[in-house]
């Protein structure tokens, strides 16, 4: 009889533990998907309970939003810098080609 009670208690404990840890498992699975995929649009699942896990999910998703915004801002900056440097680099290239094609050109020219 004691062995049966211990078995039932162990089974009940296992079931309760699984139910309690399910939200954390969902966050872990979502984080693993995000880590394996470079798409900055992915987010963790939104959870509502328990409150501590819901708060963690919300905080991590806000962090992912800020990181995505930072990446996008960096991409725009790099694109703008590349565009702004094209004209001076092209002019410099033309001057160098002129110097190479006219090696006897005076210093004043």
| Domain-located, residue 30 | yes
Structure tokens at 24: 């954390």
Q: What is the pTM of this model?
A: 0.63
Torsion of CA 69, 42, 28, 26, to 10 degrees: 130
pLDDT at position 91, please? 84
Structural domain total, the chain: 1
Domain of residue 84, residue span: 2-101
Q: What is the pLDDT of residue 99?
A: 81
Q: Is residue 109 part of a domain?
A: no
Burial of 26: CB neighbours in 10 Å, binned 0-12, 13-18, 19+: middle
Mean pLDDT of 65-80: 92
- Whole-number Å distance between alpha carbons of 35 and 60: 13
- The CATH code of the domain that includes 14 is 1.10.287
pLDDT, residue 109, reads 64
Residue 108 lies in a domain: no
In a domain, 11, yes or no: yes
**106 assigned to some structural domain:** no
In a domain? residue 107 = no
């Amino acid at each position: 009889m004691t062995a049966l009670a211990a078995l039932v208690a162990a089974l009940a404990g296992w079931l309760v533990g699984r139910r309690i840890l399910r939200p954390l498992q969902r966050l872990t699975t979502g984080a693993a998907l995000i880590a394996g995929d470079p798409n900055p649009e992915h987010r963790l699942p939104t959870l509502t309970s328990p409150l501590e896990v819901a708060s963690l999910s919300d905080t991590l998703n806000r962090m992912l939003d800020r990181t995505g915004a930072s990446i996008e801002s960096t991409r725009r900056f790099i694109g703008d810098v590349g565009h702004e440097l094209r004209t001076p680099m092209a002019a410099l290239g033309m001057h160098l080609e002129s110097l190479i094609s006219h090696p006897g050109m005076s210093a004043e020219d």
